[in-house]
Structure 1
């Protein structure tokens, strides 16, 4: 269960990193919506994460009731608009600046004003991604390592204009999920 208040989190990108991020935060007690531009990929990612929880139950590492609760917090969505109610959206897509900027511009128009936008980028500058946004102060990096559930550290990266409250919230969520947040 999360040590911070449960949050509604969106993950864009259903590949290896996206699935790992989904698993981490669902296991910590958050509701997580997964979206991918590839039709059917988000549903497959949710099935994969559910299967990981099922195996944990079989091995005695997770209670069946906890698996059932996690199953109800796992959500696949077909459109980015389905992420509109999320308090945090973490992007884990292709390492292409133009694609990430376009995604962040679109997300910014869909999400509430207090929602945080985070990139799992490992090679691009967060400030360059944030520059596509009207409110760059709510954009930060949240870089996990593969495999996400096992690598117990994540980098919280502030861009030049990232608000300190955004860095604090990402750190709290990361720590609440059992990982060490390195700012």
Structure 2
């Protein structure tokens, strides 16, 4: 039995729909009245992979610039990261490289996925599917589009990320210290 809880963080600019994506996936709901996240929130959920129950903590981080330095500490220990942009807001797409750099600075071996949210709003779309796909390929990360509002492709997006993560492989967050056994421990002494 696996007792580990694996951390997945969601990052991106303010109002791209990170909270809505997490709520749609974990709770199956959507609200038009989501308040801005302050710092970070998380939702615990489970995922069954190859018959094994995987416990996950989906960390929804704040996108506001004023929380940027504080929020980066939440990336440490993440096994996966969802980098979200709004397909109707070009600036949120242009900021993806910066978010990606921050994630990889905190956790170099994290599995990342670029997600274009609000894909249901084709009338106001400013970032094409092909642009998102091309950027993800350039960055060497997974890609998907979804709509937290309609639920379109949300579950499939998270599943694609979870399937790409090797949960069996031990993970030591960057910066953590591994203590070597002392000579007394090796001899069996207290």
TM-score (norm 2): 0.47
**Whose strand proportion is higher, 1 or 2?**
2
Larger Rg: 2
More helix, by proportion: 1
